[in-house]
């Protein structure tokens, strides 16, 4: 029996790169699949809670600043996560709150501190932003970043840091209770209503500073709002619910992921090729955890899915071929 289990793990590891256990997962009943996804979700949330705890410690236990840091971390793609975080540290939430009633001032602080305005030619609007930043930087002791901190090549215009910062300025200017509103989100519609923010009027005719383009609203789209819902709202609801022993808020975080659509990324497309299509963000986050933490590292012996397959094939090695969706090496 031990030999059969070892053989099964070897075959799982051999097919880990192609997510060969996808066929097994896809063949499970709803209850069994949900059970495995729940195990993986709690695994993933535990890891994310450690990240939230590190941000909360950095924010001196201030949950609003923690939300602010996590928002910026979620705002762009992975290549610029550290740059967004560094900007949020240089222009902290308490400073934004002091200038919130003047959205142009918030925009000036974010753009000036990011260093990005130095990369583009000036027009009346950007010169005004620079002048405002000089005053605000002296007022609050803000040191600007180097523009080289940002990775700008091969970024889609809609995800460009310039537009994301304009949208962030508008988001944090709308009211001072954004974290409370995020904690009350229970549906996809509520997430989109909160986060689908349009940048200020200047950006309707600009993708980058100083260069006019065809007019179009520069709004955070539904796809990005859902990503924020998964990686900011649900994570923070679960973390804050855990910190305050609020089980209802923890449950709300899980329910929200069930109500948000599954992500569409290379991991999910690979899982679909392997025979499984996630039905919602709850399942896609579980599959992401499975892919990143177990399949990629060939930790099949520790994986919740791998352990279940081993148990089911322990009695007879012959059943392995029926359970695993890849041929013998």
| Mean per-residue pLDDT of the chain | 92
Arithmetic mean of pLDDT, 135-143: 98
Q: pLDDT band at 323, cuts 50/70/90?
A: low
- The model's pLDDT over 175-219, given as tens digits with 9 standing for 90+, comes to 888 999 999 999 999 999 999 999 999 999 998 899 898 899 999
Element of type H or E holding 102: none
Identify the burial level of 171 via C-beta atoms within 10 angstroms of its C-beta, where 0-12 means exposed, 13-18 middle and 19 or more buried: buried
- The model's pLDDT over 260-278, given as tens digits with 9 standing for 90+, comes to 999 999 999 999 988 899 9
Do the Cβ atoms of 113 and 131 come closer than 8 Å?
A: no
| Statement: residue 7 has pLDDT above 80 | yes
Residue among 313, 172, 192 at smallest CA distance from 260: 192
Element of type H or E holding 278: none
The CA-to-CA distance between both ends of the chain, in Å, stands at 20
pLDDT at 317: 52
| Statement: residue 83 has pLDDT above 90 | yes
| Statement: residue 327 has pLDDT above 50 | no
Strands 206-208 and 211-212: antiparallel
pTM: 0.91
In terms of phi and psi (left: phi > 0; alpha: psi -120 to 50; beta: otherwise), the region of 207 is alpha
| Statement: residue 328 has pLDDT above 50 | no
| Statement: residue 319 has pLDDT above 80 | no
pLDDT at 222: 95
């Amino acid at each position: 029996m031990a030999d059969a289990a070892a053989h099964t793990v070897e075959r799982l590891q051999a097919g880990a790169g192609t997510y060969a256990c996808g066929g097994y997962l896809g063949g499970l009943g709803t209850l069994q699949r949900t059970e495995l996804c729940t195990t993986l979700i709690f695994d993933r949330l535990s890891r994310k809670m450690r990240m939230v705890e590190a941000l909360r410690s950095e924010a001196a236990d201030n949950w609003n600043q923690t939300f602010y840091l996590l928002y910026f971390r979620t705002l762009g793609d992975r290549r610029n996560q550290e740059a967004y975080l560094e900007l949020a540290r240089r222009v902290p939430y308490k400073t934004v709150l002091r200038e919130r009633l003047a959205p142009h001032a918030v925009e000036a602080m974010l753009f000036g501190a990011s260093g990005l305005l130095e990369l583009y030619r000036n027009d009346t609007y950007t010169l005004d932003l620079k002048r405002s930043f000089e005053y605000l930087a002296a007022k609050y002791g803000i040191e600007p970043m180097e523009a080289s901190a940002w990775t700008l090549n091969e970024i889609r215009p809609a995800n460009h840091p310039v537009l994301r910062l304009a949208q962030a300025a508008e988001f944090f200017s709308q009211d001072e209770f954004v974290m409370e509103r995020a904690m009350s989100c229970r549906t996809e519609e509520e997430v989109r209503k909160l986060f689908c923010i349009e940048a200020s009027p200047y950006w309707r005719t600009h993708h980058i500073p100083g260069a006019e383009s065809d007019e179009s609203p520069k709004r955070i789209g539904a796809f990005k709002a859902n990503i924020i819902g998964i990686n900011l709202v649900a994570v923070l609801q679960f973390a804050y619910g855990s910190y305050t022993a609020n089980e209802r808020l923890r449950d709300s975080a899980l329910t929200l992921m069930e109500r948000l659509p599954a992500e569409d990324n290379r991991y999910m497309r690979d899982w679909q090729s392997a025979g499984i299509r996630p039905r919602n963000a709850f399942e896609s986050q579980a599959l992401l955890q499975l892919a990143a933490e177990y399949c990629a590292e060939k930790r099949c012996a520790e994986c919740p899915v791998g352990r279940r397959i081993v148990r089911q094939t322990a009695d007879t090695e012959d059943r392995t071929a029926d359970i695993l969706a890849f041929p013998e090496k």
